[in-house]
Amino acid sequence: MPHQLPELGFSYNALEPFIDAMTMEIHHTKHHGAYVNNLNAALDKHPDLHTKSIEKLLGQLSTVPADIQTAVRNNGGGHWNHSFFWALLKKNENGEPVGELAKAIDSAFGSFDAFKEQFHKAGMTRFGSGWAWLIVNDQKQLVIGSTPNQDNPLMDISKFRGTPVLGVDVWEHAYYLKYQNRRNEYLNNFFNVINWEKVEENFLQAL
């Protein structure tokens, strides 16, 4: 079955003033929509791959036929990354991590403020386009890192691997209409729109 563009689960203006409605609509319908369409077009060349989940495709990317591997990497990565990202978004009014996640962040980074500083730095130091991530690695530890373009830590070809718990899109299309070149401001405001309950759910599943 062809991959489909998921619903956001909230209105395009729900994250105002931190992420504007026009950015959300274009990001969801145009950018994510294009990744889905391009992924399906690539998989049409090898129809048997339509039966694989996006997670399995990315986790076994090195085995995808060479003629579509780059298209699956870029567009499949874009589809998974954005689907994951939308589920993380909810205005939280300066909320903080909850439950076991909060304890794990304090243990791994020393404090929530120290975590914020490191996560912000991962987003700021990713040159060009890409993503910053909080993952659970093979040792069941929380680790912060980043990936270029639409790569993610699920990919078997990624240098930064693990199970994503939280991610932030630092492609310019994610923030340019409101923030122009001010990625720093966008990343600071991102902490106002993290659904920490969903992040904890991701954390517990990763364990």
| pLDDT tens-digit readout, 113-145 | 999 999 999 999 999 999 999 999 999 999 999
- CATH number belonging to domain 21-86: 1.10.287.990
Cβ contacts of residue 167 below 8 Å, gap of 6+?
81, 84, 85, 88, 131, 132, 133, 134, 152
The tokens of 103 are what? 């304890």
Residues with Cβ within 8 Å of residue 30, at least 6 apart in sequence: none
- 194: three-class secondary structure by DSSP: strand
Nearest to 150 by CA among 7, 46, 39: 39
Fold category of 99-206 in CATH: minor pseudopilin epsh fold (3.55.40)
Among 135, 126, 117, smallest CA distance to 170 is for 126
Q: Does 27 carry a binding-site annotation?
A: yes
3 annotated as ligand-binding? no
CA atoms within 13 A on the CB side of 21: 5
| pTM attached to this predicted model | 0.97
Would residue 54 be called left, alpha or beta, if left means φ above 0 and alpha means ψ between -120 and 50 degrees? alpha
Q: What are the pLDDT tens digits along the chain (207 aa)? A: 799 999 999 999 999 999 999 999 999 999 999 999 999 999 999 999 999 999 999 999 999 999 999 999 999 999 999 999 999 999 997 789 989 999 999 999 999 999 999 999 999 999 999 999 999 999 999 999 999 999 999 999 999 999 999 999 999 999 999 999 999 999 999 999 999 999 999 999 999
Sketch the domain layout of the chain as residue ranges.
Answer: 21-86, 99-206
pLDDT digits (tens, 9 = 90+) for 36-51: 999 999 999 999 999 9
Q: Using alpha carbons, select from 204, 183, 181 the residue that is nearest to residue 98.
A: 204
Angle between helices 77-86 and 33-43 (to 10 degrees): 140
Q: What stretches of the chain adopt beta strand conformation (E)?
A: 130-136, 142-148, 163-169
